[in-house]
């Protein structure tokens, strides 16, 4: 009997021993995991919150179009008696092409530091500077809700809503928008009032006129830009006063007045950009452009856009043996340009990151003196375009822990 009890107790002790052999390591592992978690929490608390990173922008964007152009260039008897040209030239151009392929990256480091990069991905290298294909590459320090300072490559602070729109959203445009080299390295300081309705910025950067005159970068040309962005309910403003050097110590002044009315289903902007070398030339070199948008539904937008611009200031100065030098290359001298068009945009509700667009536009460029006589030159261009834009937003695919 005692032997039987002994055997039962022995088996019981063996089972208890086996259970302990299993539970004790598991308990140790669990305790070790708890220690690790507490250590991570402690380390997380010890990390300087000013250096906590958060992505705000992380995506690719691309646009491809099919475009048909019908160009008509007409000459009448030339005003130059030594070079009489008469005739007419028609050209039909069409085909598929890609307009934009950009990489965008932005983030915040703590409560004060932020950065933003927009890189154009193209198959050829920049031929003037390393950052030619980089639109934005700046870092910003925010002192508080009112004051901030920004350094790096940025858009020049010039007013106007056509100018302010991302290039991928601008289908047909003014000659000024097409020629203006707007992305330059500089520094700016900005103040936003407590109501958030007004932002005032001052910027010193390279002048856009460093791009013209030769294939080499002109040195020592700066721009000085004072900018105001206003937000008063449906009424918005993008105004600026700018001084742009075109030669060392010689400036073209800009007065840019961008005005927009924006409601739930429709919006309209009107921009006026005046460029002048002196007060006497004040109203002879300018751009006027407007766009009306009607959001028929969350998926469909219809728009109309048109503009007029001219440069009738005359030639400002001579350079060497060349007595005809344009200072303002945003609009060639002795030219008048106007354009107008209609278009639509469609975004599928199931995938709004995809946009289909179509538009028809007509533009005319002619000599500014053509109104005096029939002697002159005129170029007319009719364009029909259908295209697709796609935004691949990586933020939608990143785990939540990478966003915070």
Residues 64/404, Cβ–Cβ less than 8 Å:
no
Q: Measured in Å, how far apart are the chain's first and last C-alpha atoms?
A: 70
Task: Tell me the whole-structure pTM to 2 decimals.
Answer: 0.81
pLDDT tens for the chain, 404 residues long, are: 555 555 656 656 566 655 556 555 555 555 555 555 665 555 555 556 566 888 899 999 999 999 999 988 776 554 444 444 445 567 888 999 888 999 999 999 988 999 999 999 875 555 556 677 899 999 999 999 999 999 999 999 999 999 999 999 999 999 999 989 899 999 999 999 999 999 999 999 999 888 655 545 566 789 999 999 999 999 999 999 999 998 888 899 999 999 999 999 999 999 999 998 877 777 889 999 999 999 999 999 999 999 999 998 865 544 444 445 567 878 888 889 999 999 999 999 999 999 999 999 999 998 876 544 445 677 889 999 999 999 999 888 776 555 55
Residue-range domain boundaries for the chain: 1-46, 47-403
How many residues make up the chain in this entry? 404
Half-sphere exposure of 279 (CA within 13 A, CB side): 0
Specify the residue for token string 């007065």.
255
In the three-class reduction of DSSP (H, G, I as helix; E, B as strand; rest coil), residue 134 is classed as strand
In this structure, what are the phi and psi dihedrals at residue 395, rounded to the nearest 5 degrees? Answer: -60, -30
Contact at 8 Å (CB) between 276 and 285? yes
Fold of 47-403: Porin (2.40.160)
């Amino acid at each position: 009997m005692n032997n039987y009890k002994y055997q039962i107790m022995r088996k019981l002790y063996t089972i208890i021993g086996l259970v302990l052999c299993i539970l004790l390591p598991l308990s140790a592992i669990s305790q070790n995991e708890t220690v690790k978690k507490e250590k991570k929490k402690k380390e997380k608390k010890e990390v300087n919150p000013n250096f906590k990173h958060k992505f705000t922008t992380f995506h690719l964007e691309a646009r491809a179009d099919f475009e048909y152009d019908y160009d008509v260039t007409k000459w009448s008897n030339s005003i130059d008696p030594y070079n009489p040209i008469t005739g007419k030239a028609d050209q039909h151009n069409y085909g598929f092409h890609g307009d934009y392929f950009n990489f965008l990256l932005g983030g915040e480091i703590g409560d004060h530091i932020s950065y933003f990069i927009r890189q154009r991905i193209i198959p050829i290298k920049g031929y003037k500077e390393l950052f030619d294909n980089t639109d934005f590459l700046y870092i910003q320090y925010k002192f508080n809700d009112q004051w901030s300072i920004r350094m790096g490559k940025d858009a020049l602070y010039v007013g106007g809503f056509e100018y302010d729109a991302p290039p991928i959203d601008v289908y047909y445009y003014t000659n000024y928008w097409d020629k203006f080299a707007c992305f330059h390295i500089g520094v700016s300081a900005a103040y936003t009032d407590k109501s958030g309705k007004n932002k005032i910025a001052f910027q010193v950067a390279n002048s856009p006129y460093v791009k013209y005159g030769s294939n080499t970068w002109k040195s020592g040309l700066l721009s000085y830009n004072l900018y105001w962005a206003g937000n008063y309910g449906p009424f918005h403003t993008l105004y600026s006063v700018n001084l742009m050097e075109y030669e060392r110590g010689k400036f073209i002044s800009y007065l840019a007045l961008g005005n927009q009315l924006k409601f739930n289903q429709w919006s309209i902007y009107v921009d006026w950009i005046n460029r002048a070398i002196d007060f006497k030339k004040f109203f002879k070199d300018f751009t006027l452009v407007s766009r009306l948008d009607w959001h028929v539904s969350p998926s469909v937008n219809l728009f109309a856009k048109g503009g007029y611009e001219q440069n009738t200031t005359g030639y400002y100065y001579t350079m060497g043996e060349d007595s005809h030098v344009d200072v303002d290359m945003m609009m060639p001298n002795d030219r008048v340009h106007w354009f107008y068009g209609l278009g639509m945009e469609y975004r599928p509700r199931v995938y709004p990151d995809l946009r289909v667009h179509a538009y028809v536009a007509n533009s005319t460029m002619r000599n500014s003196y053509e109104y005096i006589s029939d002697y002159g030159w005129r170029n007319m261009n009719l364009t029909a375009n259908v295209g697709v834009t796609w935004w691949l937003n990586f933020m939608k695919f990143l785990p939540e822990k990478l966003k915070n």
